Amino acid sequence: MQKVIECVPNFSEGRDPEVIRQISAAIEAVEGISLLNVDPGASTNRTVVTFAGTPEAAVEAAFRGIQKAAELIDMRKHKGAHPRMGATDVCPFIPVSNVSWEEAIACAHQLGKRVGEELGIPVYLYEKAAKNPSRSNLSIIRSGEYEGFFEKIKEAAWKPDFGPSVFNEKSGATVIGAREFLVAYNVNLNTRAARRATSVAFDVRENGRVKTDDGTPRGKPILDASGEPERVPGMLKHVKAIGWYVEEYGFAQVSMNLTNIEETPLHAAFDACNEAASKRGLRVTGSEVVGMLPKKCLVDAGKYFLRKQQWSEGASEEELIAIAIRSMGLNELKPFDPRERIIEFKMESAGKKSLLKMNLREFCNETLSDSPAPGGGSVAALMGALGSSLGGMVANLSAGKRGWEEKLSYFSDWAVKAQQLKDELLFLVDEDTAAFNKVMDAFALPKESAEEKVARSAAIQQANKYAAEIPLRVMETSFRSYRLLAEMADQGNPASISDVGVGLLAVRACIAGAALNVRINLAGLKDEKLRSALAEQSGRITAESEAEFGKIIQIVESKIS
């Protein structure tokens, strides 16, 4: 599946629209990058740019943005309300989907090295990317700001992680790192009283409330041995919260920052507010997300609410997201459009044309046309997706079968796995066509000079390698569907056994068809060792596919008979 990482550089210019435009354009010009938001502030004299893409593209885009900022912004003339130490003040990477912390930290280190070496800007690493734990906090690094860093950088303790140990007068210094995704989330209450909303905020936030002698906010604080007020911790970790009254809406809210959505996800914050409000005679009426968020937040929320309903979690991403929106009332204040508010969906809408956006007739028409793509590879991947979908359908039907309630968890787990297989194979439908187009692009490269011929030959070999690897991934992914189909043939609703059989045939055809595409692309590879290895993998999966198909189809045939 595609790797997506977000990057949110803060530039020390919020008043000159032309400078902001040029920095944003430099970032957006990188292939594979989606510019999600540009938010300038005049009083802070600062612009926050949000973009996302693959790790490689994000590093390149961040570098170009920092490079352009260094060219256009002169920190000797900068004044603003926000703390700052450089033209690019801070540049964090935030994993969104299928990106590990190791990869995010590597992005920060790669970017820091380039900025230090190529631009001559001192770079400090912070948060999860920090090499020195004492520098993990941004405010500690930035203490003294631009004006104070001319002397601070001379101290041994403040030698930069990358770049020169001399402060750059024009560009200042830059802090680069990797941090958790922060979600700004507000929960609506059926009260106008900010004080009551604050009570709910104190109930849920990690910092809780001060402990008093009579247990009320008006009581005398109880002090610990060091003379500091003791605190009653709140219900949720990694949550900051306050209560406020919103004039525009006419009611109060609990306003939260969720700083670790893995440990305290969106739905946990919603339910905690619901529980705390109910104990105080209040009711949660809905909620709102400020800004954008990763798809996983709403997918996980959808699964959570289905689990509470004791229903199968094996729904499509689209359905899970719709359930999450309804369950948390995200549409109460204004329409919540997933295409605009979910990072991955926003990237897709701004990205290349996708076969997956076509209806069945359009897909068949495109396949039937005189264009060579989509071709057999994309069709094979689609057949695999249909095969796993049929297995998932049987799992969902079995999960909802009356009298089989004790098997709900078993079938729900298989339905979830089916959704994952289906989504991986659908991704490969587009990726196979993209791989073919890379081969065509490589052959179209110029070949006039000796250098051009060498570059063209290398590009063709790389493109052919990728074009063989994608159908091999299709084979490997689709092969995993056999386990799903075997379980459904053996344990699933017997009324759906023919659907298992059709799923089997689709998976077998997918693997056999993808194998043909592996073979035809291997023909163009000059690396005999690689060609032999890929051919061996393809042959092994094909043989194992036939063996698995033979075993499972016997079960299907026996049950139909």
Strand residues in 147-211 grouped as ranges (E):
174-178, 183-189, 209-210
The Cα–Cα gap between 131 and 142 comes to 16
Which residues, at least 6 apart from 145, have a Cβ–Cβ distance to it below 8 Å? 83, 84, 85
Indicate the length of the chain as a whole number: 561
Q: Which one, of 52, 54, 61, lies nearest residue 88 by Cα?
A: 61
Q: Report the 10 Å Cβ neighbour count for 537.
A: 16
Q: What are the residues facing 37 on neighbouring strands? A: 50
Can you tell me the distance from the alpha carbon of 243 to that of 201, in angstroms, rounded to the nearest whole number?
6
If phi > 0 it is left, if psi is from -120 to 50 it is alpha, else beta; for residue 405 that is alpha
DSSP state of 391: H
Concatenating the DSSP letter of every residue in 276-304 gives HHHHTT--EEEEEEES-B-HHHHHHHHHH
Q: Which residues on neighbouring strands pair with residue 185, listed in sequence order?
A: 256, 289
Among this protein's residues, is 82 annotated catalytic?
A: yes
- Token digits for 412? 């729900």
Q: Report the alpha-carbon distance of residue 124 to residue 143 in Å, rounded.
A: 13
For the chain, the C-alpha Rg in angstroms (whole number) is 28
Told to judge if 16 belongs to the known catalytic residues of this protein, a careful annotator would answer: no
Give first-to-last CA distance, the chain, whole Å: 40
Among residues 271, 300, 432, 499, the one annotated as catalytic is: 432
Number of helical H runs and strand E runs in the chain: 18, 13
Indicate the residue type of 455. Answer: A
- In whole angstroms, what is the distance from residue 333 CA to residue 50 CA? 25
Task: Give me the catalytic one of 74, 78, 82, 423.
Answer: 82
How many CA atoms, within 13 angstroms, populate the side-chain half-sphere of residue 344? 18
Residues assigned a catalytic role = 82, 432
